[in-house]
Amino acid sequence: MADERVDSDIVTQFLLSTCRLRRQLSEHTVWAAVHCIRLATSHPNDDIQVYGIPLTTGSVAEFYIEPMLPCVGDIDVMCYQSNQLGILQGHPLPTQLPAEINDNVRVFEIIDSHLPGYVYIQLRYFLTYCPEDEKYNYFEETAESDQECVCTDVGCREGTVHGPANLLIFSGPLLSVDVVPCLRCLSWPPQAADWPTRHRNYDWPDSATVNRVVNNGCDVVSVAHRLCRQHKWMSKRQWRLSFSRAEIVLINSWMPVQQIVYHVLRVFMKTKQFTESANNTEAKILSNYHIKTLMLWGSEMKPRSW
């Protein structure tokens, strides 16, 4: 037991002394910026008025440490179109929108489903900006037939479908990129209404971080629940809530040692091949998202000294 304690202390000191803070302009952040520029300058359906609005997610956005074993294997980017927006069912329509949104916007209603974390998407309104009034006016979509769904081809006309993402692999120094088309929602969803107010024994996250997370709203990504993917209607209209924006804020509020633990767990998962299926055809038993969820939960339930 004494030898194990010594070995543990040696490994701990090694990790703490070799993990440094990531440079503000690292190689990975540069490549992420390159991919984001490419997406932001692409025009779906050849409409020059419409462009992609990217958000770097995953390891590049989450980690501010730089260990000896790299955190980053590829670039993850979420991207929504400047002429599309999601609004929660029952919420009033906005009259003011962020500057990056177009003057003409298709608004999709986000409707709760029978499965936790999954919603339905339906085109409901068209918003048009009126310069004289300096606000958006709306027109209701009244068609009863199968309505046009969210366009998700922004920046994704090539590549291999990889879950909700398009995987783009580049030759040379560029890292591959997973582009996840999404629908932006400016509001915090009722499915997570208890998160901002639930009791936290150790005051993490603090109120300022909670407010920042809630004010960022959420996104929805085009992937149906595994039980609904064979259903003709649900396979197209059922989407999943994404809290990537919240995760980025929360993980960046961790202490360096918490980020080191998160990184070590991910390396362990990958080294032991726990994230791989037995024959590359079955569903993966575990994923990095399981580790992330457990780390976030542990950070709330345990003191930082733990």
For residue 306, give both structure tokens: 């733990």
Q: Comparing C-alpha atoms, which of 54, 75, 52, 79 is closest to residue 63? A: 75
Q: With 70 as the cut, is the pLDDT of residue 90 above it?
A: yes
Q: Comparing C-alpha atoms, which of 157, 156, 24 is closest to residue 77? A: 156
In a 3-state reduction of DSSP, which class is residue 112? Answer: strand
Section 44-60 average pLDDT: 85
Q: What is the pLDDT of residues 185-208, one digit of tens each?
A: 999 999 999 999 999 999 999 999
Instruction: Give the per-residue pLDDT at 283.
Output: 60
d(CA 89, CA 157): 31
Section 114-121 average pLDDT: 94
d(CA 240, CA 121): 10
First-to-last alpha carbon distance for the chain, in angstroms, is 20
Helix/strand/coil percentages in the chain, nearest 5 = 30, 25, 45
Section 248-255 average pLDDT: 96
pTM for the model stands at 0.85
Instruction: Give the per-residue pLDDT at 160.
Output: 52
Q: With 50 as the cut, is the pLDDT of residue 145 above it?
A: no
Cis peptide before 205 (omega within 30 of 0): yes
Section 274-288 average pLDDT: 65
Element (H, E) at 40: helix 27-40
d(CA 94, CA 105): 11
The Cα diameter of the chain in Å comes to 77
Q: With 70 as the cut, is the pLDDT of residue 115 above it?
A: yes
Q: Who wins on pLDDT, 176 or 246? A: 246
d(CA 189, CA 183): 13
Instruction: Give the per-residue pLDDT at 153.
Output: 58
Number of Cβ atoms within 10 Å of the Cβ of 102: 19
Instruction: Give the per-residue pLDDT at 203.
Output: 92
d(CA 276, CA 245): 26
Section 274-279 average pLDDT: 61
Instruction: Give the per-residue pLDDT at 146.
Output: 47
d(CA 43, CA 83): 11
C-alpha distances (whole Å) from 143 to each of 61, 81, 107 are 41, 23, 14
